[in-house]
Structure 1
């Protein structure tokens, strides 16, 4: 019998991944500031998270690395926090006491859990992650662009049970519409290569406010574009569009 695998979308790229009795929090974001709006309800507070075995953080942007919210919410700073060196420095400065810095293709273990950094590309240094425990494998895409190295994951690691991918194709207007996040079509192409049992899109509801959306960022807020693209490119993959607070069980 397979180890139970569940994922609960808290909001944006903040996910609670449960593999058996191991609980992993990804890219925490619990607050809001000018130009950073969730665009959807947040389904949990820091205080209501319950026990967490590890936190993984893909990069230092506030909407993925809201460590102040964890500290202010009384989060246990002894919980291992795993991320690239840029994130590790911030975490240590915030008082986290078990910080594991890993870069692409490096791994960190927390008990029987293994977290492997995989390549990523964004506006700042970023890694993506493979999260493995009990014979289950989850790919977490943060808000990376699609980079060629990600296509080698199945060959390196075997079957992927769950892929969690960004889909909004975020572009930065002041940088001549520079794209910094994979879009729905690119995410679907990666999904076809990864061939997971299930795929969940995230990082699409975010917006920069009325002024910011006109002057700073541009992105696709409709995850159905990803679902439609996967239906064309990888119809065997079960795509779930998950509202915050909804828990999905992966077969």
Structure 2
């Protein structure tokens, strides 16, 4: 019998995923700067997190890899930290002692937890993840674009219980609106392929400040566009828009 699977959004793509007693933190972000705003309240401080069994990080951008906050907040630096090589080198420099470098289709285990990197594409090197324990499977999309290789995830891993996907379609204005994150329609298309029991959008409230939104980034901040797209192309899939701090139990 599989264990309870729960997820709590902290903010942005920072999620606390619980496979029974196993607690996994994704893409930590607990602070902000002049050009990086979560656009929503941060649910917990690092000190309030409690025990974390593994930290999973998709890429090195500050709003997904806020390692200074983890260190300052007192996270145990023996906590396994899993990410691509670009992240692992930074983590070691910050004092993390159990750093696991994984690239696409490579896996590592922490007790009964298995974390497999899956393909991704972003403005910098990125991986996405399949996170598994006790017969439950989560796909974590970081803030990747939709890449064709992700269509192989169900074939390789079987049923997906929970899919956590970015939806804001972030484009960079100085780069002729080059897109670096999947948009609502693309995320819905991937959702239709993954066929999760539950899909939760993230990475949509982010903004670059009043000036930054005008000259640096262009985004879709309304997750209802994703929910509507899934309802249109894969109506059998349950989508929940989850505010920070709300714990969701996955059937």
The TM-score normalised by the length of structure 1 is 1.00
Q: For 1:2 and 1:129, how far apart are their aligned partners in 2?
A: 20
Does 1:237 pair with 2:237?
A: yes
Match of 1:154 in 2: 154
- SS of the equivalent of 2:191 reads helix
Partner of 2:62: 62
Normalising by structure 2, what TM-score?
1.00
Task: For 1:33-52, list aligned pairs within 5 A.
Answer: 33-52=33-52
User: Structure 1 CA distance, aligned partners of 2:246 and 2:179?
Assistant: 30
Query: What residue number does 2:209 align with?
Result: 209
* CA-CA distance at 1:102 after TM superposition: 0.2
Which string of whole-angstrom CA distances, capped at 9 and with x for unpartnered residues, describes residues 117-143 of structure 1?
Answer: 000000000000000000000000000
**In 2: Cα distance, 1:129 partner to 1:234 partner:** 22
CA distance in 2, matches of 1:233, 1:85: 36
CA separation in 1, counterparts of 2:72 and 2:22? Answer: 24
For residues 2 and 228 of structure 1, the distance between their equivalents in structure 2, rounded to whole angstroms, comes to 31
- d(CA) in 2 for partners of 1:137, 1:27: 18
Structure 1's consecutive aligned runs of 4 or more residues displaced over 6 angstroms after TM superposition are none
Q: C-alpha root-mean-square deviation of aligned residues, in Å?
A: 0.4
Q: Structure 2 stretches of 5 or more lacking a match?
A: none
Counterpart position of 2:28: 28
Q: How many residues are aligned here? A: 251
Separation of aligned partners in 1, 2:156 and 2:101: 21
Aligned equivalents of 1:155, 1:40: Cα separation in 2: 35
Q: What is the SS of the residue equivalent to 2:77?
A: coil
CA distance in 2, matches of 1:176, 1:32: 26
Structure 1 residue 3, shift from structure 2 partner: 1.1
Quote the residue 1:86 is aligned against: 86
Residue in structure 1 matched with residue 105 of structure 2 by the alignment: 105
Q: Could you tell me how far 1:2 is from its partner in structure 2?
A: 2.7
Deviations 1:15-49 (A, max 9, x none): 00000110000000000001000100000000000
Cα distance in 2 for residues equivalent to 1:223 and 1:148: 23
1:83-128 Cα deviation digits (max 9, x unpaired):
0000000000000000000000000000010000000000000000
Q: Aligned equivalents of 1:202 and 1:218: distance in 2?
A: 16
Query: What does residue range 57-206 of structure 1 map to in structure 2 within 5 Å?
Result: 57-206=57-206
1:178-200 Cα distance to aligned partner (Å, 9 max, x none):
00000000000000000000000
**Residue 227 of structure 2 corresponds to which residue in structure 1?**
227
